[in-house]
Amino acid sequence: MSAVENRYTLREFVEQTQQRDRGEGFFEMESPRILEVNLKSNFVWTKMGSMISYLGSMKFEREGMFDKGLGGFFKKAVTGEGARLTKVTGTGKVYLADYGKKIQILRLENQEIVVNANDILAFEDTVSWDIKMMKRISSMMAGGLFQMTLSGTGMVAITTHYEPLTLVVTPDQPVYTDPNATVAWSGTLQPNFKTDISFRTLIGRSSGESFQMEFVGNGFVVVQPFEEVYHVEG
């Protein structure tokens, strides 16, 4: 059989796309858009609906309404699907993806990062978390923005549409971002909101440039070349 005839066979397809053990540890990148989580005696929090396959014996448990106390109950009552979590326990491998978005793995070392809740894919059980709503922006956007604060030590996987860009914030160099394109920022920063009245006359732009997030201090901000639209569960 010629080299040309060997192309596009089922064998070639399987060899090129099959799962591979790379020995990278708890989180392993199967591809830029598929995350492998290796579970043994621990568990992992995942974005609800992100599981695409698993090997072994797994249990999937949706986060309870009262798991974070009474305050957590009220948060979940108005939180969109992007902020819902599933607790995965068992022994084996679970594969996660989120609409083909690119995956970024971060290792926290007694650090804190704030992530748009819709852009969280998974995080280790050793990482502490909390969900908050950005109230000052909720009246400006459909559904507002929910942010998840992750702190401590452990692995975190976030997603971005296409390649992310990280901007360094210093006291003499603030950073301004479109809320719909903002993915994450360091826990040392607290965003403010700046409205630019002059942009409100632009036709076809209901938000975006008409108001921005302002980051001042020392830290970093992650943005993506895509503007997400957020909705609240009915």
pLDDT tens digits for range 179-233:
889 999 999 998 988 876 555 444 444 445 577 899 999 999 999 999 887 544 4
Closest by Cα among 120, 102, 105 to 47: 120
Closest by Cα among 71, 77, 145 to 115: 145
Domains of the chain: which residue ranges? 23-223
Go through the chain and tell me how many residues it has. 234
Mean pLDDT over 71-97 rounds to: 73
Can you name the CATH fold of 23-223?
Double-stranded beta-helix (3.60.160)
Closest by Cα among 81, 100, 221, 98 to 162: 100
Convert the pLDDT of each residue in 14-73 to its tens digit.
888 887 777 768 999 999 999 999 999 889 999 999 999 999 999 999 975 445 543 454
